Every structure is written in C-alpha cells, then in structure tokens.
Chains A and B, each alone.
Chain A
Amino acid sequence: MGQQRMAATGQEKTVSDYIVHHLTNLTYGKLPEGFDRYDGHTVGAGGEWAFAHGADEIAAMGFNAVHVDSLAWSIGLGVIFCALFRWVAVRASAETPSGLVNFIEMVVEFIDNQVKDTFHGQNKLVAPLALTIFVWVFLMNLMDLIPVDVVPELMVLAGIEYQKIVPSTDPNITMGMAVGVFILMLYYSIKVKGFGFAKELALNPFNHWVFIPVNLFMEIVGLLAKPFSLGLRLFGNMYAGEMIFILIAALFGAGILWVLPASLLQIGWAIFHILVITLQAFIFMVLTIVYLSMAHEDH
C-alpha cells in the first residue's frame, strides 16, 4: 500500500485512504524474520517487535500482535466503570440518595430486575456479570458518538499513526467478551449438570443411540454458535455504524454543497445511534443472562 505520512507531506488523501486509515488499529506486534519494512530495512533473525505501519505489516504479524488502541480504550473504559461504580458503592447508604448515586442505583436496579426476570438459579456471579457487561459495552459503544475525526487526527498530530477509539468495532474485543461468557457457560453446565451435560449434547434432539454422532454434531454447532453470534452481533452492528459515520464524514470532502446534507445526516445517524448503542449493550447483557440460565437448567 506504500503508506506515506500524508498529513506530514501534505499530499491529498483519497477517500479510500481516509476510510482505510480510520479502520486500521494501532497495532504492536512481532514482524517475522526477513520481512522488508516500509523504510527499506529487513527484519533480522528472531523477528522484531514494532508498531505496524500499514496493512501489509499488520498482515505479516498475524496472531502475534496487539491492538494497542482497542485494548487501551477498552481497559480505560472498564477502569472508568469500576471507579465510578466503586465511588457510588462506597457512598451508597440507606439514607436519601442524591444525584449520581441515585442514577447508578437506578442502573443497578434495572439490571437486577432483568436478572431476576430471566435467571432463576442461585448464582452470585450473574448479576454483577450482567452489570459489568451492560455498562462496559455501553461505554465502549458510546465512543462511537465522538466525531470520527477528532481523536485520530489529534493522535496523528501527536505522532501516533492510527487510532480506533471504539473498542466494540474490534472483533477481538467483542469475541473476547463472548469467549469469557462461553467459558462461564461451559463451567456452569458441567458444574450444575455434570454428566448430564454430555447426555444433553449426545441425546438431543433424537433420543436414540444410533443418532449420537448426528446429535453431537448438531448440539456442538449449536453450542458454539452462541458465543459467535454473541460476539459477532455486537461487532457487526458497531462496525457498520462506525462505517456509516466514516462514510458520512467522507462526504464533507465532496464539495461545499455537501456540507449541509452531510451535517444533517451525521446528526440524524448519531441520534439513531444513541438507540443502537444502548440496544446492543442491552442485547449482549440479556443474551449472557439467558445463556447462563440455560447452563443452569437441568433437564
């Protein structure tokens, strides 16, 4: 792709470059031995850990790479969630709540009701898990409402080439959470049902030993589909939403006549997106509760 520092050289960006730049993560990873880097030098023996410069370097890194921006925003928002809720937890008392405490208690009560409606087992993990997922995913999605150019351009000025600030547009982040939920599903399935879990996989939906392989295949596919659909639904929705923000932002470059319609589109999509980000966080949370509830049900 031969990326140049476009801002620095003052060359005009094409729309395609603009979109690709906005969709590229700040990646730190290990380049394989013998790779020719963008500045001409070849990676020496044992490989080299470096920030990737361009899509070909990211591709060459493969699995040995970290999306620094996604992780930093994700963990940063998680820390904000923990700090905020801990602050309230310390101040929560039976006295009259006020302001922020009241709001946070409202959120907690909402989650508590959702969990009580759906999950009927005895498990002290599910409610805090649901709260963490809802608020954390919501905060990550909320980053989508920050105008798409602000943070990346500031970062370019600061010398950091790429910056994707919406962690939930990164499949690593959404799938990471989905895998976490999946681990809990497996753990509680085995803990609650024991051998019954294997029986459930082998003898459903056709209860006859001849069909065991067919049943196993179908049930395992169904089981694996849960975390995949969970993680990819959030990723897909947020990625598509972000993409539309970027496309609308690209319209601003199409001429002075486009400024007003593009502004209106941007505002309209942002307002609609307030609904989407909340809904996606809510769906992720509800499905987590439902899956864990299924893991606790013994047939």
Chain B
Amino acid sequence: MNINLTIIGQIVAFIAFVAFCMRYVWPPILAAMEERQQKIADGLAAADRAGHDLELAQKAAVDRLAEAKKEAAVIVDSANKRATTLVDEAKVAAVVEADRVKELATAEVEREKAQAKEQLLAQVSALAISGAEKVLAAEIDADKHAAILEQLVKEQ
C-alpha cells in the first residue's frame, strides 16, 4: 500500500509502451483500415456504375432486337412478294410452253393425218384400180385409166 520506487518504474514502462504503440502499432493498423475503407467505397461505386452500365446495355439490346425484328419483317415481306412474282411468272411461262407444245402436237397430228389420208387414198385407189382391173380386165387399159385416177387423187 505504500508508494515507492515502483511508481518510477511504472512511469518509465508507461512511456515506453505508449511510444511503442504510437510508433509501431497505431499507424499501420489505422492505415490498413483506411485503405480497406477506401477500397470498399471504390468497389461499391464500381458496382453502382456497373449496374447502370448493365441497364444501358439492356436498353440498347432491346432497341437492337426491335430493329432487327423490323428488318426481318421487311425482308420476309419482300421475299414473299418476290416468291409470288416468281410463281406468277412461272405460271405464265408454263402456259406459254404448254400452248407451244400443244400447237406442235396439233401440227404433228395434222401432218400425220394428212399423210395417212394420202396413203389411204393411194391404197384405196390401188384397191379400186385392182378391183376395176378385175372387173374391166378385158376392156380397160390399165395405163390409160391410171392416168385418169391419178388425176382424181390429185383433185382430192
């Protein structure tokens, strides 16, 4: 309970510890804490900015999408139109072609009909002549009457 030299020792120790704390403990710890505070503040600010950027990007993306849709609609429209045109053209061409083929075929048919008629007439003529030859064998001269029949064929 008495005051003695201990108090001097304690004062010296007190000064030493305070000096140590002031020199080696307080500044680094506080510096680290302040640095961290700054870092966190920066991080939060960056996050805010990023959120804002994201919003802008989303808006831009929506705009671009709408634009693209519009463009696509225009393209589809024009493609449809083009397709219709092509089909119409093809129809017209087909009709023309069909007409042409039909004409050709008709011409062929006409030509063959004429040929067949000619042959038929020739054979009928020959048959008539041979019949007539048999009927008129005695009096009718084949060469003389053939000229008359040929005349007849030509008149047909």
A94 CA to B28 CA, complexed, in Å: 11
* Interface positions of B from 11 to 58, Cβ below 8 Å from A: 11, 13-18, 20-22, 24-26, 28-33, 35-36, 38-39
Distance in Å from the Cβ of B19 to the closest Cβ of chain A? 9
Q: How many residues of B contact A (CB 8 A)?
A: 33
Q: Which residue of A lies closest to B13 (CB)?
A: A75
Look across to chain A and name the residue whose beta carbon is closest to the beta carbon of B34: A94
The smallest C-beta distance from A28 to any residue of chain B, in angstroms, reads 9
Residues of B within 8 Å of A179, CB to CB, are 7, 11
| Chain B residues in 8 Å Cβ range of A124 | 22
> Residues of A within 8 Å of B, CB-based: how many?
51
Q: Is the CB of A128 within 8 A of B26?
A: yes
Stretch in A7-15, A39-47, A66-74, A191-199 with 4+ CB within 8 Å of B: A66-74
Judge whether A175 is part of the interface by a CB distance below 8 angstroms.
yes
Is B135 part of the contact surface with A, judged by Cβ < 8 Å?
Answer: no
The main secondary structure of chain B at its interface with chain A is: helix
> Could you mark each residue 164-189 of chain A with 1 if its beta carbon is under 8 Å from any beta carbon of chain B, else 0?
00000011110111011000000000
Complex CA–CA separation, A105 to B36 (angstroms): 12
Given known contacts A65-B4, A78-B13, is B22 in contact with A92 (CB within 8 Å)? no
B residues within 8 A CB of A59? 2
Determine which of B5, B18, B28, B32 lies in contact with A65 in the assembled complex, contact meaning CB atoms within 8 Å: B5
B3: which A residues are within 8 A, CB to CB? 63, 171-172, 175
Is there an interface contact between A129 and B6, defined as CB atoms closer than 8 Å? no
Report if B156 contacts A (CB, 8 A): no
Q: Do A64 and B4 have beta carbons less than 8 Å apart?
A: yes
10 further A-B pairs in the complex, CB-CB below 8 A; given A64-B5, A92-B31:
A27-B4, A63-B4, A78-B17, A89-B25, A92-B33, A127-B26, A171-B1, A176-B10, A176-B14, A177-B11
17 contacts between A and B (CB under 8 A): A58-B2, A62-B2, A64-B4, A66-B4, A71-B10, A74-B13, A88-B29, A92-B32, A94-B32, A128-B25, A132-B17, A171-B1, A172-B3, A172-B6, A176-B7, A177-B10, A177-B11
Binding site for B on A (CB under 8 A): 23, 27, 29, 58-59, 61-67, 70-71, 74-75, 78, 81-82, 85-86, 88-90, 92-95, 97, 104-105, 108-109, 112, 124-125, 127-129, 131-132, 136, 170-173, 175-177, 179-180
Chain B residues proximal to chain A, CB less than 8 Å: 1-11, 13-18, 20-22, 24-26, 28-33, 35-36, 38-39
